[in-house]
Amino acid sequence: MGSDDIIEVLGGLSLFADLSRPELEEVAHTFEEEWFPGGQRILRQGFTGSGFYVIIDGEATVSTDGKEIAKLSRGDFFGEISLLLGENPTADVSSTGSLHCLVLAGPVLEDFLTAHPPVMYRMLQALARRLRASNKWRS
Amino acid sequence: MAELNGNACPPGEYPVVVVGSGPGGLQTAYSLRMHGIEAAVLSGDEAAGGMFRRFPLFQRLITWTKIHAPADRGTRPYEWYDWNSLIGQDPSLRALVPEYMDGSSYFPARSEMERGLTEFASRSAIPVRYGCRWESTRMDGETFVVGTPDGEYRSRALVIAVGMTEPWKPNNIPGIELVPHYVETRPLKEYAGKRILVVGKRNSGFEVADALLPWARQIVLASPRPARISVLVHSTAAARARYLQPYEDHVLGGGNIVLDASIERIDRLPGGGYRTQLKGTTRPGDLVLETDEVIAATGFGTPLGDLGELGVKTFYQGRLPAQTAFWESASLPGVYFAGSITQGSIGLKKYGIPSNSAAVHGFRYNAVVLARHIAETRFGVTIPRRAIPPDEIVPFLLAEATRGPELWNQQSYLARVLSLSNGGAVDEGILPLANFVDSAGPDGVAITVETDAEGDIHPAVYIRRGGHVEEHTLASSALLDFTSAEHTAQLTSLQKSFMG
């Protein structure tokens, strides 16, 4: 995947949909690209120092104490909850097949989000959707 | 060297074939031999040294070797202070780089580094076939067949140690092909009085800008992302302090400029020089720069030859092969990597801090661990393991965290591991941390050194019981000594949990 392709892919993800091309280019340079083979643990329950991940290709599972609770795929992101709360992840995230991600180091997520309010708003929307889904039984 | 080893490793079948005679290839071949495995080492060069035969461009390294250090030269703790020598078992093979340094700097000159490596190759008498270029690779069943002008080499295990040495430019900047890459930078005096755009703000960009400071009329460094500085992000992968003069010049308004901007296109001007169109990123706005010169300090990729067609998957825009925790291709078993390519095996990257696998002080240990792994898993070599009595476990682990060069040079990446059974412990040696925490192995304990987001350096302990791994961080120490009563008490309390 070349430089242009990464920017194309980023522009197609809802999280980054409001960014201009130079902003996407900065994002492409700010995030690191990582590739994981199938069955690899990426976010580790209870470990310090984790990061924020955006899936650009492939699938992953979320599990707590070895029990699968969700599936993630292209455009989904993970790792943000523990970083926003300043706590260690409460779940494992593992690749199901080969998984291609963009990764932001945990310590810079806050600066990144405050420098890119449209991304923060999109993230808020995604978190609101998750909250609604998990609260459905109330309504 | 070419004459000395000219007839080494004739074409044929070998237990392992290593491609490359830089520090990664030499360390791997030497460490394999320590386990009784003689590899054929193939090199397209005329002598050992790899990239250090030519780079860094401005002839001094960014990795230090301290001639005077808190540990005695030639000892294992000294390796922490000598980032450039390879790791030998025989005293005549240890700490070779400081032997050839003139003492004027604690960063070796390129020639001093090269000498240290060629001495290691000749003193260890590792058989290297020089002037023998890797041209092709194919599979014959489970055997790799490596084609060279001298003939074919066959092996079931192939170690690629060719360095991340291929000049790389992004494919989305029209006109970037018109400008020289960093490696094509001309003698500095040719830039006298010129206005120069350097594309890229990593170490090669800052290195070239720093060298040009006394010559250039003005230097503009530009790339989309703000510069990352090693002392702020706690990583040798970020721009090193040595090259920060151009950045200070910019910050103080000295006339040289560091820009956060994407490069939209580059055109040659009819009368000479270049016009570059940029778009600001952290500060939006269009810019046009007319400069006499443009230098693309856009980094390097790995010359993987035809391995992609054979099934080796890559990432990082095709620049690195995807690897397991033991530096094996994630998609083509039997192909291993050594040297700076091993940065593609990312590890835990805690707090966003990468391993030091891009540099000798990191990847030399990867090669030692890889050789042992290959010996055990592919050749059935039995490596004796020392039992550690229960009352020695805590002092042993704390001494490793305080003085173990592998743990300091590969923080949160390599770990000292003990396996636990029947109330006893066995030293499993140095292993990749990712392997320990993510593989369902026997009960065990691993210790690492890590730096957190605040720059605090402390040991981290990982306890694996029943396939489940828990992390515990120990206290830091102002003087980097983790053998204190406080650390002993912390680890003793943990020992009660992992020894049941």
- DSSP result, chain A: --HHHHHHHHHTSGGGTT--HHHHHHHHHHSEEEEE-TT-EEE-TT-SS--EEEEEES-EEEEETTEEEEEE-TT-EESHHHHHHTS--SSEEEESS-EEEEEE-GGGHHHHHHH-HHHHHHHHHHHHHHHHHHHGGG-
- Cα separation, B9 vs B125, whole angstroms: 12
- How confident is the model over B126-150, as a mean pLDDT? 97
Note down the domain range covering A82. 32-131
How confident is the model at residue B37, as a pLDDT? 98
In a domain, A119, yes or no: yes
Domain of A38: which CATH number? 2.60.120.10
**Predicted confidence band of residue A25 (pLDDT cuts 50, 70, 90):** confident
Mean pLDDT of B87-114: 97
Q: State percent of chain B over pLDDT 90.
A: 93
Average pLDDT over residues B133-146: 98
pLDDT bucket at A1, cuts 50 / 70 / 90: low
- The token pair at B89 is 């078992």
Name the nearest CA neighbour of B113 among B297, B361, B337: B361
Tell me if A61 is assigned to some domain.
yes
| Cβ–Cβ under 8 Å, residues B42 and B153 | yes
Q: Which residues of chain B make contact with A98, given a CB cutoff of 8 A?
A: 313, 322, 330-331
Which residues 96-115 of A are in CB contact (within 8 Å) with B? 98, 100, 103-108, 115
Q: What is the pLDDT of residue A138?
A: 60
What three-state secondary structure class fits B195? strand
CB B246 within 8 A of CB B219: yes
- φ, ψ of residue B59 to 5 degrees: the values are 70, 15
Minimum Cα–Cα distance from A114: chain B residue: B282
- Number of Cβ within 10 Å of residue B156's Cβ equals 17
Of B390, B487, B379, residue with least CA distance to B445: B390
| Of residues B72, B176, B263, the one with CA closest to residue A28 | B263
Angstrom distance (rounded) from CA B168 to CA B277 = 21
| Interhelix angle B23-34/B360-379, nearest 10 degrees | 40
CB–CB contact A2 B171 (8 Å): yes
> pLDDT > 70: what percent of chain B?
99
Residues A51, B352: C-beta atoms closer than 8 Å: yes
Dihedral pair phi/psi, residue B291, rounded to 5°: -130, 155
Distances (CA, A) of B351 to A108, A109, B223, B332, B409: 9, 11, 24, 30, 16
Give the A window 53-92 contacts with B, CB below 8 Å. Answer: none
- For residue B148, the one-letter residue type is T
- Residues of chain A contacting B450 with CB distance shorter than 8 Å: 49
Distance from CA of A90 to the nearest CA of B (A): 12
Q: How many CA atoms lie within 13 A of B39 on its CB side?
A: 32
Answer whether B322 touches A (CB < 8 Å): yes
CA angle B486, B492, B496 (to 5 degrees): 150
Q: Does A41 touch chain B (CB under 8 A)?
A: yes
How many structural domains compose chain A?
Answer: 1
CA distances, B35 to each of B7, B28, B113, B378 (Å):
24, 11, 27, 12
Contacts of A51 in chain B (CB under 8 A): 349, 352
**B170 contact A CB<8A:** yes
Q: Is B285 on the interface with A (CB under 8 A)?
A: no
Residue A139 has pLDDT above 80, yes or no: no
Interchain pair B351, A46: CB under 8 A: no
Q: How much is the average pLDDT of A25-49?
A: 91
B349 neighbourhood in chain A, CB within 8 Å: 51, 103, 105
Nearest C-alpha in B relative to A24: B281
Which of B:459-498 have CB within 8 Å of A? 460, 469-471, 473
List CB contacts of B169: < 8 A, sequence separation 6 or more: B176, B177, B181, B296, B298
- The domains located in chain B, with CATH, are 12-165+301-379 (3.50.50.60), 176-298 (3.50.50.60), 388-498 (no CATH)
* Predicted confidence (pLDDT) per residue in B288-326, tens digit: 999 999 999 999 999 999 999 999 999 988 999 999 999
Q: Which has the closest alpha carbon to B267: B256, B276, B258, B255? A: B276
Comparing C-alpha atoms, which of B377, B336, B316, B373 is closest to residue A36?
B316
Whether the CB of A28 is below 8 Å from some CB of chain B: the reply is: yes
Q: In the structure, what pLDDT confidence band is assigned to residue B441 with cuts at 50, 70 and 90? A: confident
Contact (CB, 8 A) for B239 and B259: no
Predicted confidence at residue B2, as pLDDT, reads 41
Tell me how far CA of residue A9 lies from CA of A2, A13, A17, in angstroms.
11, 7, 10
Cβ distance B453 to A106 less than 8 Å, yes or no, reads yes
Mean pLDDT of B446-474: 95
From the candidates B328, B454, B471, which should be mutated to test the interface with A, based on the most A CB atoms within 10 A?
A: B471
CB contact under 8 A, B437 and A26: no
| Whether the predicted pLDDT of B4 surpasses 60 | no
Determine the distance in angstroms separating the CA of B112 from the nearest CA of chain A, rounded to an integer: 34
Distance from C-alpha of B374 to C-alpha of B380, rounded to nearest angstrom: 9
Q: Is residue A21 part of a domain?
A: no
Euclidean distance between CA atoms B461 and B101, whole angstroms: 37
Chain B nearest-CA distance from A136, in A, is: 33
Chain B residues inside the 8 Å CB shell of A107: 351-352, 453
* pTM greater than 0.90 (yes/no): yes
- The model's pLDDT over B70-90, given as tens digits with 9 standing for 90+, comes to 999 999 999 999 999 999 999
Q: Which residues of chain B have a CB within 8 Å of the CB of A29?
A: 223-225
Pick from A67, A77, A68: nearest CA to A27: A77
> In B46-83, which positions are buried (b, 16+ CB within 10 angstroms) versus exposed (e)?
ebbbbbbbebbeeebbbbbbbbebebebbeebbbbbbb
A73 lies in a domain? yes
- Identify the residue whose tokens are 């050594």: B338
C-alpha distances (whole Å) from B57 to each of A107, B98, B185, B246, B398 are: 33, 21, 8, 17, 40
| Cross-chain CB nearest to A1 (options B225, B284, B317) | B317
Query: Using the beta-carbon criterion (under 8 Å), do A4 and B282 form an inter-chain contact?
Result: no
In the predicted model, what is the mean pLDDT of chain A?
Answer: 91
| B285 to chain A: closest CA residue | A22
Test mutation, B225, B283, B449, chain A, max A CBs within 10 A: B225
CA distance from start to end of chain B:
56
Give the model confidence (pLDDT) of A97-116 as tens digits: 989 999 999 999 999 999 99
Q: What is the mean pLDDT of residues B249-259?
A: 97
CB atoms within 10 A of CB B425: 25
Question: Could B172 and A37 be called an inter-chain contact, meaning their C-beta atoms sit closer than 8 Å?
Answer: no
**Helices A21-30 & A3-11, crossing angle to 10 degrees?**
110
